[in-house]
Amino acid sequence: MKYNTLNGTDLEVSEICLGTMTWGRQNSESEGFEQMDYAFDQGINFLDTAELYPVPTLPELYGDTEKIIGNWLAKNGKRDELVIATKIAGKAPFTKHIRTTGFTPEGIAEAIDLSLQRLKTDYIDLYQLHWPTRNTNFFGKRDYPDEAFKTDEWKDNIYEVLTELGKQIAAGKIRNIGLSNETPWGVMRFIEEHKRDASLPKIATVQNPYSLLNRLYEIGLSEVSHRENVGLLPYSPLGFGVLSGKYLGGKSPEGARVTLFPNYSRYSGPIATKATEAYHEIAQKHGLSLPQMSLAYLRTKPFVTSTIIGATSMEQLKENVESASLVLSEEVIAAIEEAHNTYPNPAP
């Protein structure tokens, strides 16, 4: 396992980060423990979770994924050997059971304290804002409807948010901050406030979707990463498992995520399916595993700090972790770029 420095910090994180959002719904606590044991033994020192998890959300399951991680940490005492990231839920229809106020100083302080309790730790290494609280075209939307501007009630409170996060850092409860599902404008607004007032914390990372089926990060945010030293933590690097190839041919494997939750169709449209078929052919031609090829490609990008993988079975997890040692040839990369030119960003 190789390691990168978490942007602008002194933390070293594994190139693969273990995602956890299925624990507590698709995966039991014992299965979560098994995944963490295996990942740790393979050199993965980076865990990502959120107060909202598990997903799909249910009010009665709120915070259960953090509780599973906390119980594992209490059992093995490995907290100081790990980098733990979690998130505060933004204002969205599916977060009403958590809060309806968006990001306020009181809400941030309460959310951090509750996450610390569930995680059974004194500090969080990376604390992320899960979504913008303003109207924008995040989370699977390709276009930005004009109506979004007309109905947006958001008032710019980014200075206020950073001030509260700075207080939480000073108190030792969190150490670094990041964003998730953000746009270039949003990331730069947070960076501008830090530049105006250096006492405010600087954004270290952005956690956005990024995969062979969705390379939209390259259009604007990659330049922000390069010029402002903000790292990408790609989530859904296999597009809800679509890039495993298990749904090809119209298959619906029992227990698979898209089978269980058919509304998770973001990466399953007709053009995305054709793109997946093209990538599958490339992998087969070169004797590669499609998911391993898909994950290894992301590591070729200099703006990627650590790729967040998730699995519901140990078989999937082992295959994904093994991708850490795969180095793609120039021929494979060229074939991937050719397929991307044919099917650019088929899943927003």
* Domain boundary assignment for the chain: 3-342
Contact between 176 and 9 (Cβ < 8 Å): yes
- How far is Cα 156 from Cα 31, in angstroms, rounded to an integer? 42
Q: How confident is the model at residue 148 (pLDDT cuts 50, 70, 90)?
A: confident
Contact predicate 289/319, CB 8 Å: yes
pLDDT band at 255 (very low <50, low <70, confident <90, very high): confident
CB-based contacts of 308, cutoff 8 Å, min separation 6: 17, 18, 19, 48, 207, 233, 234, 235, 237
**pLDDT at residue 149 is higher than 80:** no
Return the CATH fold of 3-342: TIM Barrel (3.20.20)
Residue reference for tokens 């990060």 = 217
> In this predicted model, what pLDDT tens digit does every residue of 59-117 receive, in sequence order?
999 999 999 999 999 999 999 999 999 999 987 788 889 988 889 999 999 999 999 99
> 328 pLDDT exceeds 90?
yes
Residues in CB range of 48: below 8 A, 6 or more apart: 17, 18, 19, 20, 85, 86, 207, 233, 235, 308
Sign of CA dihedral 86, 92, 97, 102: positive
Cβ atoms of 177 and 203 closer than 8 Å: yes
Look up tokens 């939307």; give the residue: 141
| pTM metric for this prediction | 0.96
Query: Which residue, among 28, 45, 53, 41, has the nearest Cα to 118 in the 3D structure?
Result: 53
Residue 111: per-residue pLDDT: 97
Summarize pLDDT for 25-47 with one digit per residue, the tens.
999 999 999 999 999 999 999 99
Q: Which residues are catalytic?
A: 53
Q: 44 vs 17, 39, 81, 132, CA distance in Å?
A: 7, 5, 10, 29
The distance from CA 285 to its chain's CA centroid, rounded to whole angstroms, is 30
Residue indicated by tokens 């075209």: 137
